[in-house]
Chain A
Amino acid sequence: MMSSLVGAIKDVREGRELLNNLTLRELRSKYKRTALGWAWSMLNPLATIAIYSVIFGTILHGVAPEGNPSGINNFTLYLSCALLTWNFTSSGVQATIPTLVGNANLIKKVYFPRELLIGASVISWMVSFLIELGVLVAVISFTGHMVLQWIPVVLVLVFVQFFLVLGFSLALSALNVYYRDISYLSGIVFQAWMFLTPIVYPIESIDKAGNKHVFIPIKADIWFWHDFPVRFVYKLNPMVHYVTAYRNLLYDGRFPGVSSLVYIGVMTPIVMIFGWSIFRRMIDRVAEEV
């Protein structure tokens, strides 16, 4: 398996030029023939942030903890840090899942490393994410809080998250060639996944057991499993740690917790290598099956 991955890495490296062009194709064609063009890539997250702020902030009285040490206290900004992060993973993976099927014509007629199609799609979403982050950083700075010094760390984190998104996308897009259910199923899974990630609520409500805000206990009795370790399982979700890390950097204005970074550093390569292995196994017959 490893030797085939090494061969694939060589192929992909030789295909850098193509990766550039495929990414440009994604970016250029994304908002072609729309009146607002690239403004859509801003409007979508803005609308989501506005809706979520109203529902979870205003109506449900969601309270954001005060940023430590930044002192920011704003539910919308607190929400935005997590929501944009989540959007990169969620939209990136879900939009990339139909990529192989959608490029069937190309796959059946020309050889090139198929990973590049997936990579180009994910990169195009990363570009959107970076633009969104740029606007967020500008807004936070405008409110008088200094987060610019954390930008290099944020960029590294985006780069690492890219491989998480890529890993999921590789596996699911390849599986989708054989089972088209994947694209529909993923819609449901990502919806549930979103609420299992601390986006509209703070991670503290899970950490602080015994607190009245707690709606997820440390342990629970589920069916026959006495003392089911809810919090442990909850924290297996890598997005919990990504969201926490981005919030630490941009909202709290401090270096993220080491445990989150370690978990990100371990989990991301696992997802990436596992996803790529699935992709490699599936891809052999992809030109016959798409």
Chain B
Amino acid sequence: MTLIEPGSLARDLDPTAPGFHSRSRPGPDAPKAIVVDHLRKRFRLYHERNQSLKARVLRGKNRYEEFWAIDDVTFDIRQGETFGIIGENGSGKSTMLKTLARILRPDSGNVEVHGKMSALLELGAGFHPELSGRENVYLNGSILGLTKKQIDSRFDDIVSFAGLEQFIDMPVKNYSSGMYVRLGFSVAINVDPDVLIIDEVLSVGDESFQRRCMEKFAELQQQGKTVVIVSHAIGLIRMLCDRAVWLNKGKIQASGVANEVCDAYIGSVHVEQTHEAGAGVARRGTGEATITLIELLADGQPADRLATGQEATIRLHYSVNGAPIERPTVGFALHRTDGVHVTGVNIRETGLAPVALSGVGWFDYVIDHLPLLAGTYQISGAIQDFLCAHTYDWWQDALRFEVVPGWIREAEGVLTFLGHWEHPQAKAIGPKRMY
């Protein structure tokens, strides 16, 4: 288990960076909203699903195996914090969420929740198909812990948020699945809890409904509500969460600043691929000088994933065994894994190429702000003579690395120009006035 403390992240250093939340994020001393203490939860795997008295009587006990879905997990969530839980399928994150929501009981350890909690594990759970939307709002609201008075006062908000004013007295079985989910979300988000637990539900509805959801969500964050999100969508966790835990096979693999936990998670998912790529490298050259290693460094540390906009250095280590090599040059080629040739750089172009190369040493290619957008890329490196006619060593696809969205969040294409927008009438935003 690695503990990642705040520090190196662009968002932490640069408050003006897009994506930085203007609200103040709770520090380590903030009061706790949820304390999970050495939590363990065991599940039974029955050998036969057929539960019956006969089986019980004939065999004495039902045969089953046990496994720990959550195994000794300890963490806490601060009040006002947005907290992510990530992990692969079967890592125990949904079990964790259900345990937080009191749906499942821990076998040992403790979960303490301070304040009123609402869990959005499934939208519209408990809707009765034969009852009208109105009746279901009251039913669902009270399941989520609202009193009749509270629902009365929020009823109009709930209905207009869902956009179902015309259909509210219709039985919900006649609703489309989108309407059903929208009403469910609308009730749930209007519960106004101190602690909100969300499981993959922010991805419902059409685009305009999603936008309203995100606005509502930002509003909750601004109000200092504690939010716990479980999601596969790492981008979402990065964007919304302050801190996160990464669960793997029921144990905590990493916890700390959300962005870095996400990095660690994505790194592990791709680490196998990286090793595979390293095994099948293509080398050619006459070998008077050899490339001993090509590394990618971020903050002086080797890295195999970077965020767009981050500082990075490509370092090529060389070794010359025999006589010094006169007028060499060093270059890198960068390809995306789908074959797109992104760029080629060569020290020859800068006039900094050494007159001669001997012994061991390295060249650095320093990138102030990585312009690559999210994707997987490969670096090839070469040492050649100045005319690039003779190749001493060429290491094809020596290194593979991952780029994830950073404080620059452009989504399409290969790279960003690291530019910025200007407009003389800066206030006049919005499509209507622009055109």
Say yes or no: A32-B143 contact (C-beta < 8 A), given A17-B148, A109-B121: no
Of A28, A106, A108, A285, the contact of B105 (CB 8 Å cutoff): A285
Q: Is A271 an interface residue (CB 8 A)?
A: no
B107 to chain A, nearest CB (A): 9
**Cβ A32 vs Cβ B130 within 8 A:** yes
Contact with A along B89-117 (1 / 0, CB 8 A): 00000000010011111000000000000
Query: Dominant SS at the B interface?
Result: loop
> Which B residues are CB-close (under 8 A) to A18?
142-143, 145
When C-beta atoms are compared, the residue in chain B nearest to A284 turns out to be B105
> Which B residues are CB-close (under 8 A) to A103?
126
Of A28, A106, A179, A185, the contact of B56 (CB 8 Å cutoff): A179
When C-beta atoms are compared, the residue in chain A nearest to B56 turns out to be A179
B2 to chain A, nearest CB (A): 31
**Cβ B105 vs Cβ A25 within 8 A:** no
Q: Is B139 an interface residue (CB 8 A)?
A: yes
Q: Is A29 an interface residue (CB 8 A)?
A: yes
> Which B residues are CB-close (under 8 A) to A179?
51-53, 56
**Cβ A287 vs Cβ B125 within 8 A:** no
Interface residues on A, range: 20 to 34
Q: Is B54 an interface residue (CB 8 A)?
A: yes
Q: Is A141 an interface residue (CB 8 A)?
A: no
Of A28, A106, A288, the contact of B125 (CB 8 Å cutoff): A106
A165 to chain B, nearest CB (A): 23
Of A21, A111, A289, the contact of B139 (CB 8 Å cutoff): A21
Q: Is A38 an interface residue (CB 8 A)?
A: no
B376 to chain A, nearest CB (A): 37
Of B43, B128, B131, B143, the contact of A110 (CB 8 Å cutoff): B143
Q: Is B314 an interface residue (CB 8 A)?
A: no
Say yes or no: A288-B131 contact (C-beta < 8 A), given A106-B125, A110-B144, A179-B52: no
How far, in whole Å, are A289 and B45 apart by their CA atoms in the complex? 11
Q: Is B147 an interface residue (CB 8 A)?
A: yes
Most chain B CB atoms below 10 A, which of A33, A111, A180, A285: A111
B355 to chain A, nearest CB (A): 72
Q: Is B326 an interface residue (CB 8 A)?
A: no
Q: Is B135 an interface residue (CB 8 A)?
A: yes
Say yes or no: A287-B98 contact (C-beta < 8 A), given A105-B125, A110-B121, A110-B144: yes
Q: Which of A92-146 contact B (CB under 8 A)?
A: 103, 105-112
When C-beta atoms are compared, the residue in chain A nearest to B146 turns out to be A17
Say yes or no: A180-B51 contact (C-beta < 8 A), given A25-B131, A287-B104, A288-B44: yes
Q: Which of B123-181 contact A (CB under 8 A)?
A: 125-126, 128, 130-131, 135, 138-139, 142-148
> Which B residues are CB-close (under 8 A) to A109?
103, 119, 121-122, 125-126
> Which A residues are CB-close (under 8 A) to B130?
28-29, 32-33
How far, in whole Å, are A112 and B145 apart by their CA atoms in the complex? 8
Say yes or no: A21-B138 contact (C-beta < 8 A), given A111-B119, A287-B98: yes
**Cβ B103 vs Cβ A108 within 8 A:** yes
> Which A residues are CB-close (under 8 A) to B147?
17
A264 to chain B, nearest CB (A): 31
Contact with B along A198-217 (1 / 0, CB 8 A): 00000000000000000000
How far, in whole Å, are A176 and B251 apart by their CA atoms in the complex? 34
B147 to chain A, nearest CB (A): 5
B220 to chain A, nearest CB (A): 19
Q: Which of B32-87 contact A (CB under 8 A)?
A: 43-44, 51-54, 56
> Which A residues are CB-close (under 8 A) to B144?
110
> Which A residues are CB-close (under 8 A) to B126?
103, 105-106, 109-110
**Cβ B131 vs Cβ A29 within 8 A:** yes
When C-beta atoms are compared, the residue in chain A nearest to B199 turns out to be A109
> Which A residues are CB-close (under 8 A) to B121?
108-110
> Which A residues are CB-close (under 8 A) to B139?
21-22, 24-25
Residues of A that sit less than 8 Å from B by CB? 17-18, 20-22, 24-25, 28-29, 32-33, 103, 105-112, 178-182, 185, 284-285, 287-289
In addition to A28-B131, A106-B143, A289-B51, 19 A-B residue pairs with Cβ atoms within 8 Å of each other are A18-B142, A18-B145, A21-B142, A24-B139, A25-B131, A25-B135, A29-B130, A32-B130, A109-B103, A109-B119, A110-B103, A110-B121, A110-B125, A111-B102, A179-B53, A179-B56, A180-B52, A181-B54, A288-B44
7 interchain residue pairs of minimum CB distance: A109-B125, A111-B102, A109-B122, A32-B130, A21-B142, A18-B142, A181-B53
A–B Cβ pairs within 8 angstroms, 21 of them: A18-B142, A20-B142, A24-B135, A24-B139, A28-B130, A29-B130, A109-B103, A109-B119, A109-B121, A110-B103, A111-B103, A111-B119, A112-B143, A179-B51, A179-B52, A179-B53, A179-B56, A180-B52, A181-B52, A288-B43, A288-B104
